[in-house]
């Protein structure tokens, strides 16, 4: 048990208390950020004349040595220390002696941990956005190749109107596009440096907080020291964005599971992304899609947990906040894993285009267009709706579809029908005529695809790296 704060105490910490309090088992995940923050801190201290150049050089060299040794495995992070901050500082003192004891001048673990977590999360926001961008690229490629691959569009999971595969996938493109934009907003809002806030009330040293912030790539310093050490909003915002990404992945997974079912057969998931059954030799299961759907609950859980942890905490730092880490790390790793796997699954998935088109042809997906045909020939929409309703009933009775009827049969139901009705209710016409922006008509779709290609080319992460 090695602690930074023994001076005031006359007794050893109880072992169970020590273990309950310690965070090293999980905060070691940001040892690099801890060292990066410490280097910026001492560079600033020297510029301000608080440390000598020799002291700064010795500390920076020592810190780089620790980072290299941890990376190479020469130095192991053990639970002998309470947290990663104590581990780094104790090791530094061991390596360089008295100069190491000056590292913590004008700093508290409260602003230190606030910084470490922020640096870690900031990088993860970018990495998540990159994975979403990769998925968007896959989706756009599928859209480009399928502007005239017909399929039924559904409402209430009942066939509604014909769309195209490009259009259906395009709906998910828009969802994941908003996810990237959300990450961009979060990045901009969180990008202020808490270091220099001290324990809660700043410090009495002449720190240059602007300088530290710029060394670490922040927009500037945070503006209230009590808020700086106790703000976890950005974690909550990030978890909320991650939850929304999972919700989108889960909806898409659910569709893929349905499309991949024996009844639908719209798609075939690649062997590399499917699993078998230990007893039923014929089985090929969509486990990846199911797991992505399943893991959504775990990410929502992290969001609810941290919202609840934060809700009763008075200013400023309280130890409750240590609970911000494990679930956040788990949620980030989960979402990144799901994005990468989902992308691979979609990229390698086969679309059975003829099955989709056949499915779009039956189920009366052209009934609205048949009603529109009558409206265009002067029948009021409400009457047209009722005429086509009767027509559908007639077809159901005869076990046929609107386009398979003869003109005589059609005329019996409404004399307004002429020979051009067949062209008007063909699958191709039904889709082609939907030409306003956002609709599945191939020309409208191509315009949207071009706009989205531009969006991907301009993606904001490139300027941030
Ligand atoms: N492990 C602590 C955390 O994660 C570091 C900050 C400790 N500060 C303190 N005053 N005990 O929040």
In the three-class reduction of DSSP (H, G, I as helix; E, B as strand; rest coil), residue 312 is classed as: coil
Query: For a substitution probing ligand 1, which of 23, 29, 121 has the most ligand atoms within 8 Å of its CB?
Result: 23
Q: Is residue 231 part of a domain?
A: yes
- Residues 209, 139, single domain; the answer is yes
Residue tagged 């059609």 (tokens) = 410
Q: What is the mean pLDDT of residues 303-318?
A: 98
DSSP 256-297: HHHHTSTTT-SEE--GGG-B--SS-TT--B-HHHHHHHHHHH
Which residue(s) pair with 150 in the sheet? 164
**Residue 424 tokens, joined:** 């008007």
- Alpha-carbon separation of residue 62 from 46, 94, 98, 347 (angstroms): 16, 10, 12, 47
Q: What is the CATH number of the domain that holds 324?
A: 1.20.200.10
- Residues 257, 349, single domain; the answer is yes
Q: Closest Cα to atom 12, ligand 1: which residue?
A: 322
Q: What is the CATH number of the domain that holds 399?
A: 1.10.40.30
- Residues 298, 431, single domain; the answer is no
Burial string for 238-264 (b: 16+ CB within 10 Å, else e) reads: bbbbbbbbbebbbebbebbbbbbeeee
Query: Could you tell me how far CA 368 lies from the centroid of its own chain?
Result: 37
Q: What is the CATH number of the domain that holds 72?
A: 1.10.275.10
- Residues 304, 334, single domain; the answer is yes
For 401-453, write each residue's pLDDT tens digit: 999 999 999 999 999 999 999 999 999 999 999 999 999 999 999 999 999 99
Q: What is the mean pLDDT of residues 114-132?
A: 98
Active site residue 352: no
Q: What is the mean pLDDT of residues 380-389?
A: 97
- Residues 61, 92, single domain; the answer is yes
**Residue/partner pairs of 306-314 with CB below 8 Å, 24 or more apart:** 306/232, 306/235, 306/236, 306/239, 307/236, 310/232, 310/236, 313/230
Q: Closest Cα to atom 3, ligand 1: which residue?
A: 322
Q: How far apart are alpha carbons 162 and 363 in whole angstroms? A: 10
Query: Could you tell me how far CA 8 lies from the centroid of its own chain?
Result: 46
Percent of the chain with pLDDT over 90: 93
- Residues 378, 432, single domain; the answer is yes
Give me ligand 1 centre to Cα 113, in Å.
Answer: 7
Q: Closest Cα to atom 11, ligand 1: which residue?
A: 319
Q: Is residue 126 part of a domain?
A: yes
Q: How far apart are alpha carbons 67 and 40 in whole angstroms? A: 15
Q: How far apart are alpha carbons 237 and 186 in whole angstroms? A: 7
Q: What is the mean pLDDT of residues 54-65?
A: 98
Q: What is the mean pLDDT of residues 386-407?
A: 95
Domain tally, the chain: 3
Q: Is residue 286 part of a domain?
A: yes
Judge residue 118's burial from the number of C-beta atoms within 10 Å of its C-beta, 0-12 exposed, 13-18 middle, 19 or more buried: buried
Residue 38 belongs to domain spanning:
6-105
- Residues 125, 232, single domain; the answer is yes
Give me ligand 1 centre to Cα 245, in Å.
Answer: 30
- Residues 94, 134, single domain; the answer is no
Give me ligand 1 centre to Cα 114, in Å.
Answer: 9
Question: Residue 132: how many CB atoms within 10 A of its CB?
Answer: 25
Q: Give the pLDDT confidence score for residue 26 in this predicted structure.
A: 98
The model's pTM is 0.95
Active site residue 277: yes
For 263-300, write each residue's pLDDT tens digit: 999 999 999 998 888 888 888 899 999 999 999 999 99
Q: How far apart are alpha carbons 135 and 130 in whole angstroms? A: 9
Contact between 87 and 30 under an 8 Å Cβ cutoff? The reply is no
Q: Give the pLDDT confidence score for residue 212 in this predicted structure.
A: 98
Which residue(s) pair with 221 in the sheet? 193
**Strands 350-351 and 158-164, bridge-based pairing:** unpaired
Those residues whose C-beta lies under 8 Å from the C-beta of residue 268, and which sit 6 or more positions away, are 260, 349, 350, 352
Give me ligand 1 centre to Cα 108, in Å.
Answer: 9
Q: Which of 25, 261, 277, 386 is catalytic?
A: 277
Q: Is residue 151 part of a domain?
A: no
pLDDT reading at 357 higher than 80: yes
Q: Which of 83, 105, 127 is the last residue of a domain?
A: 105
pLDDT reading at 105 higher than 80: yes
- Residues 208, 59, single domain; the answer is no
Q: Give the pLDDT confidence score for residue 465 in this predicted structure.
A: 61
- Residues 370, 448, single domain; the answer is yes
Q: Using 50, 70 and 90 to split pLDDT, how confident is the model at 92?
A: very high
Q: Which of 358, 384, 401 is the last residue of a domain?
A: 358
- Residues 94, 228, single domain; the answer is no
Q: Is residue 465 part of a domain?
A: no
Q: Is residue 348 part of a domain?
A: yes
Q: Is residue 159 part of a domain?
A: no
Give me ligand 1 centre to Cα 117, in Å.
Answer: 11
Q: Is residue 306 part of a domain?
A: yes
Pocket of ligand 1 (CB under 6 A): 23, 27, 83, 109-110, 113, 317, 319, 321-322
Q: Which of 358, 384, 407 is the last residue of a domain?
A: 358
- Residues 293, 428, single domain; the answer is no
């Amino acid at each position: 048990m090695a602690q930074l704060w023994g001076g005031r105490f006359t007794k050893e910490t109880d072992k169970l208390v020590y273990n309950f309090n310690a965070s090293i088992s999980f905060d070691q995940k940001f040892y690099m950020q801890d060292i990066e923050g410490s280097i910026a801190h001492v560079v600033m201290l020297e510029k301000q004349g608080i440390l000598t150049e020799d002291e700064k050089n010795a500390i920076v060299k020592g810190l780089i040595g620790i980072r290299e040794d941890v990376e190479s495995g020469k130095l192991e992070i053990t639970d002998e220390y309470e947290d990663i901050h104590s581990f780094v500082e104790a090791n530094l003192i061991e390596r360089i002696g008295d100069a190491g004891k000056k590292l913590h001048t004008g700093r508290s673990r409260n602003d230190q941990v606030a910084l470490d977590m922020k640096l870690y999360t900031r990088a993860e926001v970018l990495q998540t956005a990159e994975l979403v961008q990769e998925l968007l690229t896959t989706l756009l490629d599928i859209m480009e190749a399928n502007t005239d691959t017909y399929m039924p569009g559904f409402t209430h999971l009942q066939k509604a109107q014909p769309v195209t595969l490009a259009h259906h996938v395009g709906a998910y493109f828009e969802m994941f596009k908003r996810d990237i934009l959300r990450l961009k907003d979060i990045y901009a809002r969180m990008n202020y440096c808490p270091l220099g806030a001290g324990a809660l009330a700043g410090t009495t040293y002449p720190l240059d907080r602007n300088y530290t912030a710029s060394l670490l790539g922040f927009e500037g310093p945070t503006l209230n020291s009590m808020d700086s050490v106790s703000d976890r909003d950005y974690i909550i915002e990030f978890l909320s964005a991650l939850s929304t990404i999972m919700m989108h992945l889960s909806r898409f997974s659910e569709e893929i599971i349905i499309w991949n079912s024996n009844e639908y057969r719209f798609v075939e998931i690649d062997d590399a992304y499917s699993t078998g059954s230990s007893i039923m030799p014929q089985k090929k299961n969509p486990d990846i899609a199911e797991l992505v759907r399943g893991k959504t609950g775990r990410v929502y859980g992290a969001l609810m947990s941290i919202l609840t942890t934060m809700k009763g905490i008075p200013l400023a730092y309280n130890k409750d906040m240590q609970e911000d880490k494990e679930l956040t790390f788990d949620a980030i790793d989960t979402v990144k894993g799901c994005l990468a796997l989902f992308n691979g699954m979609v990229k390698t998935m086969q679309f059975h285009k003829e099955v989709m088109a056949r499915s779009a042809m039956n189920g009366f997906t052209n009934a609205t267009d048949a009603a529109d045909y009558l409206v265009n020939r002067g029948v009021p929409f409400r009457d047209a709706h009722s005429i086509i309703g009767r027509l559908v009933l007639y077809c159901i009775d005869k076990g046929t579809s609107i386009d398979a009827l003869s003109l005589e049969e059609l005329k019996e139901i409404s004399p307004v029908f002429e020979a051009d009705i067949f062209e008007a209710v063909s699958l191709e016409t039904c889709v082609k005529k939907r030409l306003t922006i956002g609709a599945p008509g191939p020309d409208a779709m191509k315009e949207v695809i071009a706009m989205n290609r531009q969006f991907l080319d301009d993606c904001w992460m490139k300027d941030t790296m």
